[in-house]
Amino acid sequence: MPIYTYATLDDPSSSTGATVPLGINDAGQIVGGSGNHGFLLSGGTYTALNDPLGFDTTALGINASGQIVGSYQADGIHRKGFLYDPSRGIFPPYFTLTPPTARNITDAHGINAAGLIVGGYFDLITSHGFLLSGGTYTTLDDPLATGGTVANGINAANQIVGDYLNSSGSHGFLLSGGTYTTLDDPLATGGPTGGTHALGINDMGQIVGWYGNASGTHGFLYSGGFYTTIDDPLATGTTFAFGINDAGQIVGLYQDGSGGNHGFLATLGPNPPPRRHHRRHDPAP
């Protein structure tokens, strides 16, 4: 059995709202949201991230170069994605990301070492995933989706993970080499609080996310075709796993017995025991 060491993460500057770690890079730098601002946790120090064009910022992903992606609330209706990149030498170092067919909502969820960015947006009808590469936006739609697709993470091999929705519920997916593979944790159930959601992927192809069933919400690690449940030991029925780095460190959120929400960092040991369950399908022509 793998060994997990959990550390609780609470931003000391946040007087309201939970600390929600959403991404981690190989240097152990963590990004997320705290109250109405994003944060970068590096070397034990929290630094607030606030896009100057918005009043509410969330950092969602970070790569090895320290480039950060996320979203900001532009007004009461519009949410836009951003790239935070101080290396460009432009102040402020925030760049708005909006696919040309997006309406109202865009979120940039993940960025890999090469600077390719994935996320999700809404048009006038439904949600779509996107890949931003070389200044070009490519829409990503799982062929089994009937209620929308969102792309959440990308690794160095350009493998992408995300979610799609259809009549049977929410499902995770892995997009690799042009082929979509559905990811359904075998312990997940359907319904509005169930399903499987794939949120992060590292360069080894290990995937993290969460699933829901009658006992609550649980994080998972999918590695080598097997699922392992990730539940913070301080949680009372609610754990979400959001990001994973190449060392196998996982960041996420848990809810304690008093209803309080806290971030966590889990350091993982050996690969998990088997719980195999997935199916493969090819994209529609």
> What CATH number has the domain bearing residue 224?
2.120.10.30
User: Comparing 46-55, 128-137, 185-194, which segment has the lowest mean pLDDT?
Assistant: 185-194
Give the contacts of 4 (CB within 8 A, at least 6 positions apart).
Answer: 230, 266, 267, 268, 269
Average pLDDT over residues 83-106: 94
pLDDT at 59 over 50: yes
Average pLDDT over residues 222-232: 96
pLDDT of residue 285: 44
Average pLDDT over residues 29-43: 96
Identify the band that residue 14 occupies on the pLDDT scale cut at 50, 70 and 90.
confident
> Kindly report the CA angle at 172 between 248 and 61, in degrees rounded to 5?
50
pLDDT at 276 over 50: yes
pLDDT at 220 over 90: yes
pLDDT of residue 272: 54
- Which alpha helices (H) appear in the chain, and where do they start and end? none
Average pLDDT over residues 33-62: 96
pLDDT of residue 277: 59
pLDDT of residue 13: 84
Average pLDDT, the chain: 93
Identify the band that residue 161 occupies on the pLDDT scale cut at 50, 70 and 90.
very high
Residue 133 tokens read as 């590469």
Q: In angstroms, what CA-CA distances link 154 with 9, 184, 244, 285?
A: 24, 19, 11, 23
Q: How do strand 4-9 and strand 261-268 relate by DSSP bridges?
A: antiparallel
Better-scored residue on pLDDT, 265 or 284: 265
Signed CA dihedral, 165, 166, 172, 178: sign only: negative
Q: How far apart are CA 73 and CA 22, in angstroms?
A: 17
Domains: count for the chain:
1
Write out pLDDT tens, residues 260-270. 999 999 997 65
Structural domain including 149 reads 4-281
How much of the chain exceeds pLDDT 90, in percent? 84
pLDDT of residue 194: 84
Better-scored residue on pLDDT, 20 or 284: 20
Residue 81 tokens read as 């994605």
Q: Token match 């009043």: residue? A: 55
